[in-house]
Amino acid sequence: MRFLVTNDDGVHAPGLAVLANAAARLGEVHVVAPDTERSGVAHAITLYKPLRLRELQPGWLACDGTPTDCVYLALHQLHLQPDFVLSGVNPGPNLGHDVLYSGTVAGALEGAHWNIPSIAISHCSGSEEVLAQVGPLIDRLLPRLLEVARSQRGAVNVNLPSIQRGPWKGIRATCMGHRIYANEVIVRNDPRGRAYYWIGGNDVKMPDIEGSDCNAVRDGYVSVTPLGDDLTRHREIESVAAALSDVRLP
């Protein structure tokens, strides 16, 4: 088996090493990952500046682009032809609507877009030291996740509960839930007196949605969500058509 491994935390992130090591037990590993932190870039692709690849060690390349750029170049320029694309391990969850902002998930969606079974993995503890302890658990879990990914047409988004809260209780197939952030923006002044803004905050609420990824992780279960890239609300197409039925274009 041949694996392409990427992430959105940068090529030096400990989570990437955890995932690459787990994959190396099962086959040949190629890493193509952003050279620096790219969390939150979602599915961005770089079109208006050149990209460069730098080999750090055999099979490990840093790219000055996004996770999507990394997968795109690996497939269409390096022609790696992986059997699987793996993205992560992200320090911190990618649950509910995090998925729409996540570069980790985008790396897997880009692989799935080119018909390669792809898995995004996130660990709900943001601590990189704790992440290292998760390695042996991922070693055990990965073969089964690969089976699941191979049987799916899209990407698989995996969230691992924080092991600081106790051992995992099991594994659940889930849907995307909701994560509601406190819409926090920190405003400060730079040394020249101009305001700058920092988006983010730790206050997150997760409504109780049965079968969701948020619930699974809250309850101590590994969450496995099959994802596609079709954002259409299919049930609403008819009502949109009805609302437009009397529109006459000039």
State how far the Cα of 128 lies from the Cα of 200, in Å rounded to an integer.
19
Query: Could you tell me which stretch among 60-68, 84-92, 161-169, 191-199 binds Mn ion (CB under 5 A)?
Result: 84-92
Q: Please, are residues 186 and 150 in contact by the beta-carbon 8 Å criterion?
A: no
Question: In degrees to the nearest 10, what's the CA dihedral of 141, 142, 144, 145?
Answer: 110
Q: State the Cα–Cα distance between residues 71 and 111, nearest whole angstrom.
A: 7
Size of the site for Mn ion (CB under 5 A): 4
Q: Whose Cβ is closer to Mn ion: residue 41's or residue 142's?
A: 41
Nearer to Mn ion, 107 or 161 (CB): 107
Residue 213 is a binding residue for Mn ion (CB under 5 A): no
**Closest residue by beta carbon to Mn ion:** 39
Q: Which is nearer to Mn ion, 8 or 72 (CB)?
A: 8
DSSP 10: -
Q: Of the listed pieces 86-94, 140-148, 150-158, 200-208, which binds Mn ion according to CB under 5 A?
A: 86-94
Positions 26 through 65 that interact with Mn ion (CB under 5 A): 39
Region from 51-59, 88-96, 202-210, 237-245 binding Mn ion, contact rule CB under 5 A: 88-96
The residue among 112, 94, 114 whose CA lies nearest residue 103 is 94
Q: Following DSSP, what letter does each residue of 185-246 receive, concatenated?
A: EEEEE-TTS-EEEEE--S-EE----TTBHHHHHHTTEEEEEEE-S----GGGHHHHHHHHTT
CA–CA distances in Å: residue 140 to residues 18, 111, 134, 162? 12, 23, 10, 16
Residue span binding Mn ion (CB under 5 A) among the ranges 52-60, 87-95, 201-209, 218-226: 87-95
| Contact mark string toward Mn ion, 142..181, x via CB under 5 A | ----------------------------------------
Residue 93 CA to residue 223 CA, distance in Å, equals: 10
Query: Could you say whether residue 8 binds Mn ion (CB under 5 A)?
Result: yes
User: Among residues 8 and 69, whose Cβ is nearest to Mn ion?
Assistant: 8
The two three-digit tokens of residue 109, written as one number: 């969606």
When the beta carbons of 6 and 39 are compared against Mn ion, the nearer one is: 39
Residue with tokens 């983010």: 200
- Rounded to a whole number of angstroms, the minimum distance from the CB of residue 201 to Mn ion is 16
Does 90 participate in binding Mn ion (rule CB under 5 A)?
yes
Interface ranges with Mn ion (CB under 5 A): 8-9, 39, 90
